[in-house]
């Protein structure tokens, strides 16, 4: 149901603010198609996508979401033509540079998952700075998935588990699902209750493979640069009206 107006909370959808998911993960897709439909270069779509990030972080924070993971660059995105990869890295570096003070002022804690050591050094430096500056902030955790791949993350967890097994730090009998989670790059955040993908594709593209076991999925045809706070509210409204069973009966 769309509300006529809810002046108190600025909500256009009838969302229960006491039942907001702790963690929302978003596959920000469709920058290229957004640009193409406007006869613009793909880079213009990526640039417009950064604006959407600003709006969504603000709205997610306002709605009380604790963790917001944004899929910004996958381990497979290196396959794109070098000029596009360079543009994406430049935009990441600019985003970190331009936003870090504002994020800090708004009590946002910035973190990253993925093989960040393979990013260009300028991005690594800015990322380290932003993470260090904001590490004690108690507001929303903006978690950027950068050079992230679910399979790579699980593979790295395997390696670390085997190392700790070899050194005697863990025993085979210790290994349970909770221990495995502790070796993933998402160890300090809960699994996402809701995964949103923009731009019509209905696939995971190697995002959070372990963590999405019982996530709700929300797909929209809207391209990421056109996604906005109302669309986020709509996704939350749909989510809140789902019947989550976790394999049981309800
Ligand atoms: C999402 O938009 C941004 C990244 C994957 C980095 P795309 O660049 O994938 O846009 P489409 O899917 O080609 O429209
Ligand atoms: C997924 O989008 C990765 C990000 C949004 C960063 P892609 O555009 O790379 O995914 P595919 O290639 O359509 O599966
Ligand atoms: Mg895409």
Number of folded domains that form the chain: 1
Residues facing residue 196 across a β-bridge: 26, 218
We report the CATH number of the domain holding residue 84 as 3.40.1180.10
What tens digit of pLDDT does each residue of 95-146 get? Answer: 999 999 999 999 999 999 999 999 999 999 999 999 999 999 999 999 999 9
Residues belonging to the binding site for substrate are 30-34, 42, 46, 74-76, 78, 80, 197, 203-205
| Closest to 24 measured CA to CA, from 205, 215, 204 | 215
- Other Cβ atoms less than 10 A from the Cβ of 110: the count is 24
pLDDT for 9 equals 79
Cα 198 to averaged position of ligand 3 atoms, centre (Å): 9
Residue 110 lies in a domain: yes
Compute φ and ψ for 155, nearest 5 degrees: -60, -45
Residue 129 lies in a domain: yes
Residue 186 lies in a domain: no
| Pair 73, 145: CB distance under 8 Å | yes
| Pair 219, 197: CB distance under 8 Å | yes
pLDDT-derived band at 63 (thresholds 50, 70, 90) equals very high
| Pair 193, 21: CB distance under 8 Å | yes
Is 29 annotated as catalytic? Answer: yes
Range 34-54 average pLDDT = 98
Range 240-249 average pLDDT = 95
pLDDT for 130 equals 98
Residue 201 lies in a domain: yes
Token look-up 């906005």 returns 228
Average pLDDT, the chain: 96
Residue 174 lies in a domain: no
| Pair 134, 104: CB distance under 8 Å | yes
Which residue out of 77, 106, 156, 228 is catalytically annotated?
Answer: 77
Residue 181 lies in a domain: no
Range 204-214 average pLDDT = 98
pLDDT for 6 equals 53
Report field, pTM of the whole predicted structure over 0.85: yes
pLDDT-derived band at 208 (thresholds 50, 70, 90) equals very high
Closest atom, ligand 2, to C-alpha of 205: 14
Residue 89 lies in a domain: yes
Which residue out of 29, 141, 143, 147 is catalytically annotated?
Answer: 29
Domain assignment of residue 125, given as a range: 19-149+191-240
Residue 58 lies in a domain: yes
């Amino acid at each position: 149901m769309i509300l006529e107006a809810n002046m108190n909370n600025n909500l256009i959808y009838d969302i229960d603010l006491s039942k907001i998911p702790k963690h929302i993960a978003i596959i920000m897709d469709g920058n290229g198609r957004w640009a193409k439909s406007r006869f613009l270069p793909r880079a213009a779509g990526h640039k417009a996508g950064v604006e959407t990030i600003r709006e969504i972080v603000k709205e997610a924070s306002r709605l009380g979401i604790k963790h917001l993971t944004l899929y910004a660059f996958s381990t497979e995105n290196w396959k794109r033509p070098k000029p596009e990869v360079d543009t994406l890295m430049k935009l990441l570096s600019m985003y970190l540079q331009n936003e870090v003070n504002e994020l800090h002022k708004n009590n946002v804690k910035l973190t990253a998952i993925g093989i960040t050591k393979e990013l260009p050094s300028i991005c690594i430096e800015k990322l380290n700075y932003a993470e260090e500056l904001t590490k004690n902030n108690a507001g929303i955790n903006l978690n950027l998935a950068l050079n992230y791949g679910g399979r790579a993350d699980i593979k790295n967890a395997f390696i670390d588990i085997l190392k700790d097994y070899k050194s005697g730090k863990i025993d085979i009998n210790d290994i349970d699902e909770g221990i495995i989670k502790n070796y993933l790059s998402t160890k300090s955040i809960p699994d996402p209750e809701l995964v949103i993908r923009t731009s019509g594709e209905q696939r995971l593209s190697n995002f959070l493979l372990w963590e999405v076991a019982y996530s709700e999925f929300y797909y929209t045809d809207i391209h990421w640069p056109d996604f906005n706070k109302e669309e986020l509210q709509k996704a939350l409204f749909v989510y809140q009206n789902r019947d989550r069973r976790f394999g049981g009966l309800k």
